Chains A and B, each alone.
Chain A
Amino acid sequence: QVQLKESGPGLVQPSETLSLTCTVSGFSLTSYGVNWVRQPPGKGLEWMGTIWNDGSTDYNSALKSRLSISRDTSKSQVFLKMNSLQTEDTAIYLCARDGGSSWGFDYWGQGVMVTVSS
């Protein structure tokens, strides 16, 4: 069955770089795109970016200068790197499969809470 699981550090120092991994199973990264979405505590969902099945990427314009999404298809892993973290980057970070066409984000990981604090 389709599964996605996020992993990474729970605590990051201000101005440091966040590195997260989304490990997928049940589908191939060369067939489906994967999105990163974040949710600050008590707030709404924010799309961060997508890595498409062909390896191309799209980013939220507000985060583009700090954000990088990449993948290792052999390991079924998608990576998020975001630099210059601030306290407002404290959030739950989620990865979600793009169902393709207009199919929406059809499968989601459980999310990982990242706190930016010294």
Chain B
Amino acid sequence: DIQMTQSPASLSASLEEIVTITCQASQDIGNWLSWYQQKPGKSPQLLIYGATSLADGVPSRFSGSRSGTQYSLKISRLQVEDIGIYYCLQAYSAPFTFGSGTKLEIK
């Protein structure tokens, strides 16, 4: 099974700050990586698909990148509404696997 190692587990940042979350895949998954935001009491929402493509309606301050088997989600200017838990997902091959999540808070 493909393992997704997500870091950090938690993150506290100031408004307008740049935030980066990473996922390391245990093997090549190409661009089959997506990112999700989950707000308290809500279902996850797709932010990024295909490693770098922004989902419909997602603010442009969110972006995704890939370097080999390392994937990153960047929030360019942190806003209050960005608090929540972020997950990566590899859907390259079953069984699909989520990262362990990153809890993002405002400092």
Q: Which of A's residues lie within 8 Å of B, judged by CB?
A: 35, 37, 44-47, 50, 58-61, 94, 96, 98-99, 101-106, 108-111
* Most-contacted residue by chain B among A37, A61, A94 (CB, 10 A): A37
Task: Pick the 8 closest A-B CB pairs, nearest first.
Answer: A104-B34, A58-B94, A104-B49, A108-B43, A102-B50, A47-B96, A45-B98, A44-B101
B43 touches A109 (CB 8 A): yes
Chain A residues with CB under 8 A of B101: 44-45
Q: Which of B's residues lie within 8 Å of A, judged by CB?
A: 1, 30-34, 36, 38, 43-46, 48-51, 55, 85, 87, 89, 91, 94-101
Interface of B is mostly: loop
Q: Within the assembled complex, what's the spacing in Å between the Cα atoms of A37 and B89?
A: 12
Option from B43, B95, B96 in Cβ contact (under 8 Å) with A94: B43
Chain A residues with CB under 8 A of B43: 94, 108-111
Chain B residues with CB under 8 A of A109: 43
A104 touches B98 (CB 8 A): no
Q: Within the assembled complex, what's the spacing in Å between the Cα atoms of A108 and B46?
A: 9
> In angstroms, how far is the closest chain A Cβ from the Cβ of B94?
4
A44 touches B91 (CB 8 A): no
Return the chain B residue nearest A57 by Cβ.
B94
A105 touches B31 (CB 8 A): no
Q: Within the assembled complex, what's the spacing in Å between the Cα atoms of A95 and B32?
A: 19
Chain B residues with CB under 8 A of A96: 44
Return 9 A-B CB contacts under 8 Å, by A number: A45-B36, A47-B95, A47-B98, A58-B95, A99-B49, A102-B30, A104-B34, A104-B50, A105-B36
